[in-house]
Structure 1
Amino acid sequence: MSLTAFLQSRYGSGFATRGAVEAHHNAAFRRFRANVMPRSPFYRDMAALPLEQLPRVDKAMLMQNFSAINTSGIDRDEAMQIALKAETSRDFSPLIGDVSVGLSTGTSGQRGLFLATPGERRLWAATMLGRYWPELWRRQRVAFFMRADNALYRSMSNAVVRFEFFDLMASFDDHLDRLDALKPSVLIAPAQVLAVLARHQIEKWISLSPRRIISVAETLSPDEAALIERAFGIRVDQVYQATEGVLAMTCRHGNLHLNERWLRIDRDVIDAETGAFCPIIHDFTRESLPILNYRLNDVLIPQAERCPCGCASQRIARIEGREDDVLWWRAPTGNRMITSEAIRTTFACLPQSLSDYRVIQRGGSLHIWLDGAEKEAETALERGLGLLAASMGCRLPILVFHKGLPPEENGKRRRIRVESDLGLKQVG
């Protein structure tokens, strides 16, 4: 299975038609309900039900029923204890039997657990290496920046891949000498870390020549992508991976596609005009912790245009962030969704460049932090946001400006978010 996954990821052209995608999903679910669901105490008596009749699951429900849902007989409290101990000690090697356990804080701050058997780890590594390994004939050096290590990630390490973990909970400056010495051929990190490394590269504090750069864990904005490409001279790929699995990856043309070889992803559309939707996931490769009828609160914007790569898997124009962080501004005919892309574009068009910014909607007020800006930037931004509101036919919220930057929430950088919508979200 791992070799097949490697070859498909490396050389396959993907599904030719939507019919092929649906046939693959139907066959995969038949196998899953026959071989996996009977091993889950939670799903055992539901194996004969149609997929759409399975209970709707979210992170809270998954964690509440973790012990019954997983097929490995792993107790939730034991798994949580091991995961928390690993976070404290920064030793991520302990397993439960041969199953690795990981902890996710999530952008919402709600803790989640994920499991990976040896087979699942091999499948993940084969797919990632197949898609992003620069040259098969050359040993690769992978630098991986992340909050936590896991046996899942270390499964990429073998005789031809040197894998090194860079702990984001440690001093960032302490990593630079080791990174420079490693000279990674593959650089994997969250978007904001890649942006910092790009600035260091431009300022010649480091000298790297990676053959692949992969953004993970955070939404990659167009300005960050442009900065990273300018610094390193290569395109940035993306892997959209959550606790619930690998949801999307960039293809050879740099376009983001849903991972429909592993997952069936249904849509809960929240904005008919843009097609923005929250994904409902059914993972037919995840045997240790079945993920079925699982609704994420991430908001994805679909791309209708067919990709030049020829794959019929759904293209994604961009990931807006969490459903709770999509801005909704009042309009005479109902509230209008204001995309993060529209806000980012308004900031990008300012006459004065900014070091960084944050936008937080609190009810009918929009709180804005401008880092490294003069008073003229506030005036220009107020004018730009007013034009945006007018073009969308809605009313601009009250603007409240602050200096510097607010504290990060759970260590996750989120430039645009909502703390309370007070009923602003569109209904129907």
Structure 2
Amino acid sequence: MSLSAFLSARYGRGFRDRAQIEAHHARAFALFRQRVMPRSPFYRDLAQVPLAALPRMSKARLMENFSAINTCGIRYDQALDVALRAEESRDFSPMIGKVAVGLSTGTSGQRGLFLSTPRERALWAAIMLGRFWPSLARRQRVAFFMRADNALYRRLSNPLVRFQFFDMLTPWQDHLSRLEALDPTVVIAPARILGQLALAGPRIAPQRLISVAETLLPEDRAAITAAFGVPVDEVYQATEGVLAMTCRAGSLHLNEGWLRVERDVIDPATGAFCPIIHDFTRESLPILNYRLDDVLVPDPAPCPCGCASLRIARIEGREDDMLWWPGRAGLRLVPADAIRTMIACLPLRLRDWRAIQRGNVLEIWLDGAEGDAERPLRDALADLGRRLDCTPPELRLHAGLPPEPDAKRRRVRVLPA
């Protein structure tokens, strides 16, 4: 299966149309109901229940029922103990038998565990290598930046791939000499780290740059591409699995070869939705009828690559961080992209920025602003309100950057008043 997954990811053209996707899902879930669900004490008696009628899952509910849902007979406290010891020691090699355990804090601060079996790790590596391996004719060197290592990621290492993990909790300067010594052909890192590398200017010339774990904003993509001279690919992966990847044409597509995604639409005007995931490749910890609080904006236009899997125009962020401003027709969703565009169009230079809404107050932090920022920012905010037919909140302007509440950078956030 790993070889066929590798070949499909590298040379396949994806699904031709929606009917082919539906047929693929029907076959995959029929097998999943037969082979996997009976092995889960939680799902054993639900194997014939329609997907939408299965218990609705969130990260909290998944963790509450972890011991019963997983098919490996692993208790929650047992898995958490392994994960926490790995986090403390920074030694991520211990497993429970052949099952790897990972810990995710998530942007919401809700702690989550994930599992991966040898089969799942092999499938993941086959897809990643098939899609992003620069050249089969040459040995590759992969630099992987992440908060925590895992056997899942180390599965990328093989005789033709030299894999090195760069711990994001290590001081930044300690990475640069190691990175230059490795001279990676592939760099996999959160968008923030890729941006730091672009600014630091290490003497490396990667052939592939892959952004993971954070939303890749257009301005960051442009800066990183300009610094390294290669486009930035994107993998939208969460604790719940690989949800989307960029295609050869540069579009972000839902990974409908692995999972089925229903849409819980929160803004009919844009089609913005929270995904409800049914994964038919996750056997160790089944992910079924699982609602994420990420907000995705679809792109209905056909992709030049020819794949019919749904295109994602952008990932707005978390549902809790959506800005809703009052308008004549009720509350109006203000896309994070509108705030980014407003900041980008200000007639002044910036190093960075943040926008935080607390009740009816919008705090905007401008780092390194040159010149008077308050008047053009107030004018831009009023213009945005007119264009969206809504009333902006009160503006408070700050210099510098606020403290980050978690490890993942979020330029637009909503906090309690």
Please say whether Structure 1 and Structure 2 have the same fold, judged by a TM-score greater than 0.5: yes
Q: In 2, distance between residues paired with 1:306 and 1:363?
A: 39
* Cα deviation code 1:341-377 (max 9, x no counterpart): 1100111111111111111111111011111125611
Partner of 1:119: 119
Is 2:345 the partner of 1:349?
Answer: yes
Partner of 1:250: 246
Q: Which region of structure 1 is more displaced relative to structure 2, 371-380 or 156-165? A: 371-380
Q: Percent identity?
A: 65
Is 2:240 the partner of 1:270?
Answer: no
Q: In 1, distance between residues paired with 2:381 and 2:4?
A: 50
Partner of 1:43: 43
Return the TM-score normalized by structure 1: 0.96
The one-letter code of the counterpart of 2:274 is C
Q: In 1, distance between residues paired with 2:135 and 2:408?
A: 33
Is 2:159 the partner of 1:174?
Answer: no
The one-letter code of the counterpart of 2:300 is A
SS of residue matched to 2:237: strand
Q: Which region of structure 1 is more displaced relative to structure 2, 21-30 or 410-419? A: 410-419
Partner of 2:305: 309
Return the TM-score normalized by structure 2: 0.99
Is 2:97 the partner of 1:101?
Answer: no
SS of residue matched to 1:291: coil
Does the Cα contact within 8 Å between 2:240 and 2:287 map onto a contact in 1?
yes
Q: In 2, distance between residues paired with 1:288 and 1:64?
A: 16
The one-letter code of the counterpart of 1:176 is L
Partner of 1:3: 3
Runs (4+) of structure 1 moved beyond 3 Å? Answer: none
Partner of 1:229: 225
How many residues align? The count is 417
The one-letter code of the counterpart of 2:54 is L
* Cα deviation code 1:312-367 (max 9, x no counterpart): 00000000010011111111111111111110011111111111111111111101
Structure 1 residue 378: deviation in Å? Answer: 2.2
SS of residue matched to 2:363: strand
Partner of 2:85: 85
SS of residue matched to 2:205: coil
Q: In 1, distance between residues paired with 2:235 and 2:185?
A: 17
Q: In 2, distance between residues paired with 1:247 and 1:300?
A: 11
Structure 1: gaps (5+ residues):
423-428
Is 2:315 the partner of 1:319?
Answer: yes
The one-letter code of the counterpart of 2:213 is A
* Cα deviation code 1:159-205 (max 9, x no counterpart): 0000000000010111000101111000111001101101122xxxx
The one-letter code of the counterpart of 1:251 is C
Q: Which region of structure 1 is more displaced relative to structure 2, 380-389 or 102-111? A: 380-389
Q: In 2, distance between residues paired with 1:381 and 1:189?
A: 32
Report matched runs for 1:13-412 at 5 Å: 13-201=13-201, 206-374=202-370, 376-412=372-408
Does the Cα contact within 8 Å between 2:350 and 2:370 map onto a contact in 1?
no
Q: Which region of structure 1 is more displaced relative to structure 2, 371-380 or 272-281? A: 371-380
Partner of 1:426: none
Q: Which region of structure 1 is more displaced relative to structure 2, 67-76 or 371-380? A: 371-380
* Cα deviation code 1:125-152 (max 9, x no counterpart): 0000000000001000000010000000
Structure 2: gaps (5+ residues):
none
SS of residue matched to 1:143: strand
SS of residue matched to 2:374: helix
Q: In 1, distance between residues paired with 2:44 and 2:32?
A: 12
The one-letter code of the counterpart of 1:386 is A
* Cα deviation code 1:85-112 (max 9, x no counterpart): 1111100000000000000000000000
